[in-house]
Amino acid sequence: MTDLLNIHNLKVEFDTDEGRILAVDNVILKLQEGQILGLVGESGSGKSVTAKSIMQLNAENAVYGDNSKIVLEGQDVLKFKENQDLKVIRGGKVSMIFQEPMASFAPAITIGDQMVELLLLHKKISKEKAKSISIDMLDRVGIADADKRFKQYAFELSGGMRQRAMIAMALSTMPKLLLADEPTTALDVTIQAQVIDLIKDIVNEYKMGVIFITHDLSVIAQTVDYVAVMYLGTIVESGSVREIISNPKHPYTQGLIEALPDLNNLDKPLKPIPGDIPSPLERPTGCVFHTRCKLFESGVCDNAVPPLSEYAKEHTVACFKVNNNEQ
């Protein structure tokens, strides 16, 4: 099975007044059809930048590395220029849904009009056909009275419904890849559960690939098949979600899991990760996590960047200490 998406050595820097800031470094990811890949990380981890690179949606001052390649169905989309090629990708082969659904919909145009506009941009169909596809999609995502909602404006819908409408809009063009950037963070927890179920159903039905970005490890555990843990722009650990969560090897992943409140063990004290996330202007040399790591070894960890090496089946870790001791 050929990969749907294959990201090689992605490096993204931003040209700012303060100089060149490295946002994403040496990211390697693979995704097949029908799979959900989770990108989990805290603020500054670069997960949004990575996803946006697929559609070249980053700000204009983004500079991609020379060796970076993003291969989508055989084509290197990073080489595409602002013309027909990128237009086909954006909204067509790849769709994105965002954290704040209110920001995705234009406030003065009805939802229906926006969905139809999107469809007409990507498919050569009649307006009536576009309308019926859109209403079907709204119904499919669980919005009751879809034809009534089709004519409404974004502010007339509640938060959960808006998020569903955004998913409907993103899926109406039948993309091969769906990028979901913190889609449930702004939602109430009862709605969150429904949206997660919806995304899993969609993936099963349409066999698309999904990259699911969030900072919430529990949501990752319930939603994705594979997960990549990111810290300050690099992947520190990746693999199948069962393997990573039950047997985390990188100190950062372990720290993240231990910092979570566990509902089954209310007496367990909460363990934070000591220190603070360094600002991207002060990127630590060598392994970016070494300033907060309990396994830090001077001369080793601050000297070179640990490569992502295979620890077990479907489990790669970027840590000198892990791969040295336990292989």
x/- contact string, 218-247, with another protein (CB under 8 A)?
Answer: xx-xxx-----------------xx--xx-
Binding mask 10-49 for another protein (x = CB under 8 A): -------x------------------------xx------
Minimum CB distance to another protein, residue 4 (Å): 22
Query: Least Å distance between CB 176 and another protein?
Result: 25
Q: State the DSSP code for 287.
A: S
Q: What is the DSSP string of 55-109?
A: TT-S-TTEEE-TT-EEEETTEEGGG--TTHHHHHHBTTTEEEE-S-HHHHS-TTS
Rounded-to-integer distance, Cα 134 and Cα 146, Å: 9
Residue 245 burial by CB count (10 A; 0-12/13-18/19+): exposed, middle or buried? middle
End-to-end CA distance of the chain: 30
The interface mask with another protein, positions 155-194, x = CB under 8 A, is: ---xxxx--------------------------xxx-xxx
Question: Can you read off the two tokens belonging to residue 282?
Answer: 């002060």
Site for another protein (CB under 8 A): which residue of 3, 216, 302, 314? 216
Q: What is the DSSP letter of 261?
A: -
Which of 302, 87, 103 is closest to 183 using CA atoms? 103
Q: By CB under 8 A, tell whether 256 contacts another protein.
A: yes
How would you class 12 by CB atoms within 10 Å of its CB: exposed for 0-12, middle for 13-18, buried for 19 or more? buried
Nearer to another protein, 255 or 306 (CB): 255
Q: Is 261 a residue that touches another protein (CB under 8 A)?
A: yes
Distant-in-sequence, close-in-space partners of 313: CB < 8 Å, separation ≥ 6:
243
Compute the least distance from the CB of residue 135 to another protein, in Å.
20
Residue 36 DSSP symbol: E
Least separation in angstroms between residue 80's CB and another protein is 30
Binding-site size for another protein (CB under 8 A) equals: 43
**263 contacts another protein (rule: CB under 8 A):** yes
* Closer residue to another protein (CB): 50 or 223: 223
Backbone angles phi and psi of 203, in degrees to 5: -60, -40
Query: Under the criterion CB under 8 A, does residue 145 sit at the interface with another protein?
Result: no
3-state secondary structure 228-242: EEEECCEEEEEEEHH
The structure tokens 């920001």 sit at 103
Nearest partner of 234 among 252, 209, 246, judged by Cα: 252
Region of 75-83, 91-99, 215-223, 304-312 interacting with another protein (CB under 8 A): 215-223
Q: Tell me the per-residue interface mask from 195 to 214 with another protein, x by CB under 8 A, - otherwise.
A: -xx-----------------
Give the residue with the Cβ less far from another protein, 112 or 255.
Answer: 255
Nearer to another protein, 2 or 265 (CB): 265
3-state secondary structure of 171: helix
The contacts of residue 264 (CB under 8 Å, 6+ apart) are none
- Give me the least distance between CB of 247 and another protein, in Å please: 12
Tell me, residue by residue from 51 to 90, as one string, x for binding to another protein by CB under 8 A and - for no binding.
----------------------------------------
Q: Which residues would be at the binding site for another protein (CB under 8 A)?
A: 17, 42-43, 158-161, 188-190, 192-194, 196-197, 215-219, 221-223, 241-242, 245-246, 255-257, 259-263, 266, 269-273, 276-277
